[in-house]
Amino acid sequence: MSKIIIPTPLRKFTNNEAAFETAGATVAASIEELVAKYPDLRQHLLDKEGNLRSFIRIYVGEEDINRLEGAETAVPAGTDISIIPAIAGGSGAAAVAQEPVTFSKAEIERYSRHLIIPEFNIEGQRKLKAAKVLVVGSGGLGSPLLQYLAAAGVGKIGIVDYDVVDDSNLQRQVLFGVESVGKPKVAEAAARIQSLNPHIEVQTYNTLLTSDNALDIIKDYDLVADGTDNFATRYLVNDACVLLDKVNVYASIFRFDGQVSVFNFVDEEGTRGPNYRDLFPTPPPPGLVPSCAEGGVIGVLPGIIGSLQALEVIKVITGVGKPLSGRLYLFDALNFEARTLKVHRDPSNPLNGENPTQNELIDYVQFCGTGYAEEEHKAEERPVKEISVQELKKWQDGEQDFQLIDVREPHEYEIVQINGKLIPLGTVSDHADEIARDKPVVIHCRSGVRSAKAIRELENSFGFENLHNLRGGVLAYAREIDPTLPTY
């Protein structure tokens, strides 16, 4: 025989008996005997499938059965079986007994489709109304994010962006119309979402998020949704969220690929999930991963990924469902394939690993600009000879015999070209023999970044000395020499 020790909170189901004698050979058999005698206990110990509930822990003697053989653990005669409720808690979450959140008739009607979902209901809606969310970036991802968060009734939304609306934004940034072009994004975005939902508060920050202002802006919010398009801001948002103990709902997009994850999320058991630095300890070398402005993005992709991001924000706030913490969702639009990878905390994370070394924000522009070998860095930085579009125009008009090389991709060449010979950047070394050595050569791309790379590569590998980079690329040419040319 052995004894099951009944915890005090469950003794009301055992007529105040503190112990139960059992002859069961295993934990499962013993528990089965116990609930057979006290049927009211069953629902507190076992789930519908008859398995032990996750928040109940069982010890045989002084050992957790999860470290032995679970419910099948043998019970030697004379050993105590202890049923142990989880005892934990803490102040690190919103207080539950605070000022009640109430709704007007208009709000009840507006949110009725939320209110009738059983697991969401008015409690979920209250949490949304009480929540303060900061959206960093009001572009491609920010467009669906802001609209869905506003429509869903997030009580306060902050928007950070320093940019103005450009023609090239309208292909994907559906917050804006043609009348928005040239105006600050935050103001246009705020007006749009405020008209979508007048019951919420919107605050704008028409500024670049920097190490100097990030903590001050983020501290007033419960959660941050990162919709930025560059690594420096991404690390900045991540680090600020970890330092301030805020959840960071992250998404990014590039061409046909999207990513989503929830960082720095603390689950109900108090376990903190990974953050961006656990996933990517250091940024990629500058230029390896182009931004959307350089690499392009299919316009509907931010609509898909930003909507998933909005979904995770709402789940985290309401506690409904299982948030994407400790997991990275990858979407490949070209093949219509999605994968979810596991992300683990990295003991060497400088923010909250085993030996944290960083307790403040750093210079992220520098961090993302020097995250690779110093030597390579110097080579990248060495200036190349440049030529202005005005000089090029003179040469084209016959003042100088020269060769013009275009290192963009064929699909870009189809959009606009200025009679250069097309040799895409990835193939310049293979075509080095087609580049003239007996006269000046002008190399151009869209804006001047890739052509500078091509020149360095040709100079380093083939010893060219006659190469000139067209400053500002075909964009500058279209702007200053031939406005009839389209830009992209």
Partner 1 sequence: MLPISLSPYALDTMKADAETAFPNECCGFFYGKDGEVRQVIEAHPVQNSKEGDQRRRFEISPLDYIRAEKYAMESGLSLLGVYHSHPNHPAIPSEHDLKQAVPVFSYIILSIQQGNFDHIRSWQLDEDGAFTEEELQVPAAT
> Which parts of this chain interact with partner 1 (CB under 8 A)?
5, 7-12, 18, 55, 57, 59, 62, 64, 82, 84-98, 245, 268-270, 272, 319
Q: Which member of 152, 223, 236, 292 is catalytic?
A: 292
Q: Considering the complex, what minimum distance in angstroms separates the CB of residue 11 from partner 1?
A: 8
- Is the CB of residue 278 less than 8 Å from the CB of residue 356? no
Q: Considering the complex, what minimum distance in angstroms separates the CB of residue 205 from partner 1?
A: 27
What distance separates the 2 farthest-apart alpha carbons in the chain? 106
Distances (CA, A) of 456 to 19, 379, 382, 403, 428: 81, 8, 8, 17, 11
**Known catalytic membership, residue 368:** no
Q: Considering the complex, what minimum distance in angstroms separates the CB of residue 246 from partner 1?
A: 13
User: How many C-beta atoms lie closer than 10 Å to residue 254's C-beta?
Assistant: 18
Query: Quick one: which of 343, 217, 337 has its CA closest to 280?
Result: 343
Structure tokens at 64: 């957790």
The residue among 287 and 356 lying less far from partner 1, judged by its C-beta, is 356
Q: Considering the complex, what minimum distance in angstroms separates the CB of residue 93 from partner 1?
A: 4
Whose tokens are 């013993």? That residue is: 30
Q: Considering the complex, what minimum distance in angstroms separates the CB of residue 41 from partner 1?
A: 13
Structure tokens at 446: 């869209």
The residue among 54 and 104 lying less far from partner 1, judged by its C-beta, is 54
CA atoms lying within 13 Å on the CB side of residue 61: 10
User: How many C-beta atoms lie closer than 10 Å to residue 477's C-beta?
Assistant: 22
Q: DSSP per residue over 206-241, as a string?
A: -S---TTTHHHHHTT-SEEEE--SSHHHHHHHHHHH
The residue among 11 and 327 lying less far from partner 1, judged by its C-beta, is 11
Single-letter amino acid, residue 443: I
**Known catalytic membership, residue 445:** yes
The residue among 151 and 266 lying less far from partner 1, judged by its C-beta, is 266
The residues carrying an active-site annotation are 292, 445
